[in-house]
Structure 1
Amino acid sequence: MKILLVGEYSRLHNSLKEGLTKLNHDVTLIGSGDDFKNYPIDIDISPSLFTKSFLFNLSKVVHRLTNISFIELENAYRFYKILPKLKHYDIVQLINENSLKTHPKLEIWLLKKLFKQNGKVFLLSCGTDYISVKYAYDNKFKYSILTPLQNDPRLKKQFRFILMYLNKHYKKLHLFLYKNTKGVIASDLDYHLPLKHNPKYLGLIPNPINTNKIQYLENNFDGKIKIFHGINRMNYIKKGNKFFDEALNIIKKKYPDEVEIIITENIPYNEYIKIYNSCHILLDQVYAYDQGYNALEAMAKGKVVFTGAEQEWLDYYKLEEDTVAINALPDSNKIAEKIEWLILNPNMIKNISRNARSFIEKEHNYVNIANTYLKTWKNK
């Protein structure tokens, strides 16, 4: 089959492409590389004009005064230019409800053209979208990416890029996509739970991980346990990074000679994975029920990852607590207690490390996942 994957977050579509290619399908990935992360793509439609310093600053001023985004307009233009070549694909899959990263009115106009010249279209619930944000906004999770805002309404400005999915333009885009696609696929439990009873929902397909490309790294200790905390400053609040920072301060004071703490901020994906290779423990995110892509890749390498690993996730995969990953709760003291437990029981690091790799190989194998996608697409 000829398959077009539109958009990229956290390397999901790259790994899916690798699985589909292994199964002899012709796959094209179009997107922006997700900003500074710079993921590989076949057709690059990332903005280049209005990201330059002077024009970027000008576009920010114009956006603030008029609510017109030159970057969104450039995104739309760059996709429009390549659109005539995006024809005769059997399957088109969108990474989420704003895969073109332009204004919803323009997105609908462009997608209508894309859909008209191709076969079946599917939508991923991966990252924020109308249904997952509404579910969180209505307090249906015990905690979510909106919990910091619900605890402190003064943070509203920092959550504008999440709350925008609830405005009338994005809701209209959401309704358009649910009407004009064959169905919606969730990439993990955080998107599965809000979709469970939706008639367009086709089920959860776990994130594909290419373990052929990810080497398992044996956890050897040279006297210090290394803890890695990689920060994406834009997502600092919604990922709950402050709880990790506070927990690390507790650990540094209590175990200054037993641990080495490595912290990075806003670095490209390739650099990021090189830096965390030497760590034993990786701090990923707090406000989640399941693991995102970053956590899964780290688990494949044998890292003990503090991430979403809620009871719903344990039940879904039939796992015991603290055997594959550590559930990071929005509580600095509890996170510090779990880190301390690992420091005092380094054999648990080795056990969890091996279990994590086995779990990824069993549940997230990129070829098996690609096959699941193929079956889901063919059945609609």
Structure 2
Amino acid sequence: MKILLVGEYSRLHNSLKEGLTALGHDVTIIGSGDYFKNYPVDIKLNRTYTSGLAKKWKVLLYRLFGIDLTAEAIKKQFFSHSEALKGYDVVQLINESPLGATPKIEKEVVSFLSKHNKKLFVLSCGADYLSVKYAYEKKFRYSILSPLFNGKVSEKDFGPILKYLQPAYKSLHEFVFRHISGVIATDMDYHIPMKGHPLYLGLIANPINIEKLPYLPVSITDKIIIFHGINRGNYYKKGSDYFEEALFMLTQKYADKVEIITVESVPYAEYIELYNRAHIVLDQVLGMDQGYNALEAMAKGKVVFTGAEKEFVDYYNLEKPVAINALPDAQAIFADLEQLVLNPSKITEISKNAREFIEREHNYVKVAERYVQTWQTVNA
């Protein structure tokens, strides 16, 4: 099949492409590479007007006339490749807003892709109308919106998430769903809100290229090394405040037993290299399931503090821990860290479990096969 993957964040579409290519499919990715993370894409759409005087000019124009110069530049670049974006058997959007443009421009993109290709699908794997609405209505025990409900942040601070509830983005959601053949969720945080929707095709686990992520056997010869990567823009959304409080308690009590590596907003390639030394990786708190960074760390045999709630354990029928369920409670996180520091053999055990789980459930070729099967079940 000839497949177009639109948008990229967290390396999901890159890993899926690698699996699909291994199966003999012809795959192209178009996108902007997700800001500072700069993931590779085949057709690059450069985000302009993002710094200096150009950004100030953009802000002024937007305030005066509602014109977003960055979005307009993305649109111009996208349609400059129009001939290369036609004739695909399958087009898959990474999100309802796959290019990070304005809803008006995203509609134009979706309309074009729907008209000139056979089947159009969308992933639910990041903030979108249905998942944000579900969280906003407090249907989860806790969620990425918990910091808002707890008064840690203002609605303005959470604008990039709450925007999906605005009329323009609700309209975009409805527009996208009128044009797609189906929607696929990538983990429990999106599977649960999608249950029962007539266009929902089910959960397909994130693809992980295990060949590019060799297992690193645990070797603890001195201190236990703990890695905490912070994206300042997602600080409260990821629950980094709970991790920092827990790490403070840990270093107060076990400074001679632990080494803490903390980094902020670094490119993907650098991020990966920095955590290779670690035994434990602190990923995120406010989720039911693992995100992409957590899965890649688990593939390498890291003990990851992330979402591993009962819904996740039950779905995969797990009998052995493959990650540590990081609760929104600094004391609970500290207690889990303390147990690992005092019992290093547990790190070795969970490390092996994590790798086995990724090989079983997230193998990029097997996952790619599931995508192909799912796409083929839907008539054009």
Q: TM-score, normalised by structure 2?
A: 0.97
Task: Quote the RMSD (CA, aligned, Å).
Answer: 1.2
Query: Structure 2: how far apart are the matches of 1:67 and 1:134?
Result: 26
Query: Structure 2: how far apart are the matches of 1:330 and 1:63?
Result: 38
Bigger CA drift: 58-67 or 222-231? 58-67
Shift in Å, 1:62: 3.8
Shift in Å, 1:192: 0.1
Shift in Å, 1:153: 7.5
In structure 2, the partner of 1:299 is: 298
In structure 2, the partner of 1:12 is: 12
Shift in Å, 1:326: 0.2
Shift in Å, 1:117: 0.9
In structure 1, the partner of 2:130 is: 131
In structure 1, the partner of 2:2 is: 2
Shift in Å, 1:61: 4.1
> Retained in 1: the 8 A contact 2:147–2:153?
no
Bigger CA drift: 60-69 or 156-165? 60-69
> Retained in 2: the 8 A contact 1:83–1:114?
no
Amino acid of the structure 2 residue aligned with 1:23: L
Task: Provide runs of 4+ in structure 1 moved above 6 Å.
Answer: none
1:312 aligns with 2:316: no
Shift in Å, 1:150: 1.1
Query: Structure 1: how far apart are the matches of 2:285 and 2:46?
Result: 30
> Retained in 2: the 8 A contact 1:131–1:194?
yes
Query: Structure 1: how far apart are the matches of 2:59 and 2:236?
Result: 22
> Retained in 1: the 8 A contact 2:125–2:190?
yes
> Retained in 1: the 8 A contact 2:231–2:264?
yes
Amino acid of the structure 2 residue aligned with 1:345: N
Amino acid of the structure 2 residue aligned with 1:364: H
- Indicate how the Cα distance of structure 1 residues 187 and 333 shifts in structure 2: closer, same or farther if over 3 A, else same: same
1:31 aligns with 2:31: yes
**1:156 is paired with a residue of what secondary structure?**
coil
> Retained in 2: the 8 A contact 1:283–1:307?
yes
In structure 2, the partner of 1:254 is: 253
Q: What are the superposed Cα offsets for residues 161-210 of structure 1, whole Å, 9 maximum, x if unpaired?
A: 11110111111111111111000000000000000111110000000001
In structure 2, the partner of 1:210 is: 209
**2:190 is paired with a residue of what secondary structure?**
helix
1:275 aligns with 2:277: no
Query: Structure 2: how far apart are the matches of 1:154 and 1:221?
Result: 39
**2:286 is paired with a residue of what secondary structure?**
coil
- How many residue pairs match? The answer is 378
In structure 2, the partner of 1:325 is: 323
In structure 2, the partner of 1:111 is: 110
**2:157 is paired with a residue of what secondary structure?**
helix
Shift in Å, 1:46: 2.4
> Retained in 1: the 8 A contact 2:206–2:292?
yes
1:233 aligns with 2:211: no
> Retained in 1: the 8 A contact 2:71–2:105?
no
Amino acid of the structure 2 residue aligned with 1:291: Q
Shift in Å, 1:51: 2.5
- Indicate how the Cα distance of structure 1 residues 335 and 64 shifts in structure 2: closer, same or farther if over 3 A, else same: farther
> Retained in 1: the 8 A contact 2:298–2:304?
yes
Shift in Å, 1:67: 4.5
Q: 1:347 aligns with which of 345, 353, 363?
A: 345
In structure 2, the partner of 1:22 is: 22
Q: What are the superposed Cα offsets for residues 270-297 of structure 1, whole Å, 9 maximum, x if unpaired?
A: 0000000000000000000000000000
In structure 1, the partner of 2:360 is: 362
> Retained in 2: the 8 A contact 1:132–1:191?
yes
Shift in Å, 1:230: 0.3
1:41 aligns with 2:41: yes
1:102 aligns with 2:101: yes
Query: Structure 1: how far apart are the matches of 2:212 and 2:241?
Result: 32
> Retained in 1: the 8 A contact 2:124–2:186?
yes
Query: Structure 2: how far apart are the matches of 1:67 and 1:287?
Result: 34
Q: What are the superposed Cα offsets for residues 60-108 of structure 1, whole Å, 9 maximum, x if unpaired?
A: 3444555432212222221122123211111000001000211111211
**1:158 is paired with a residue of what secondary structure?**
coil
Shift in Å, 1:154: 5.3
Query: Structure 2: how far apart are the matches of 1:68 and 1:286?
Result: 37
Query: Structure 1: how far apart are the matches of 2:170 and 2:220?
Result: 51
Query: Structure 1: how far apart are the matches of 2:276 and 2:144?
Result: 27
Shift in Å, 1:52: 4.2
In structure 1, the partner of 2:166 is: 167
Amino acid of the structure 2 residue aligned with 1:78: Q
- Indicate how the Cα distance of structure 1 residues 324 and 153 shifts in structure 2: closer, same or farther if over 3 A, else same: closer
In structure 2, the partner of 1:244 is: 243
In structure 2, the partner of 1:51 is: 50
Amino acid of the structure 2 residue aligned with 1:174: H
Query: Structure 1: how far apart are the matches of 2:311 and 2:110?
Result: 35
- Indicate how the Cα distance of structure 1 residues 352 and 180 shifts in structure 2: closer, same or farther if over 3 A, else same: same
1:266 aligns with 2:265: yes
Query: Structure 2: how far apart are the matches of 1:62 and 1:135?
Result: 34
**2:360 is paired with a residue of what secondary structure?**
helix
Amino acid of the structure 2 residue aligned with 1:7: G
Shift in Å, 1:56: 1.8
Amino acid of the structure 1 residue aligned with 2:123: L
Q: Which runs of 5+ in 1 are unaligned?
A: none
Q: What are the superposed Cα offsets for residues 31-63 of structure 1, whole Å, 9 maximum, x if unpaired?
A: 011010011110001223x12422023323444
**2:158 is paired with a residue of what secondary structure?**
helix
**1:246 is paired with a residue of what secondary structure?**
helix
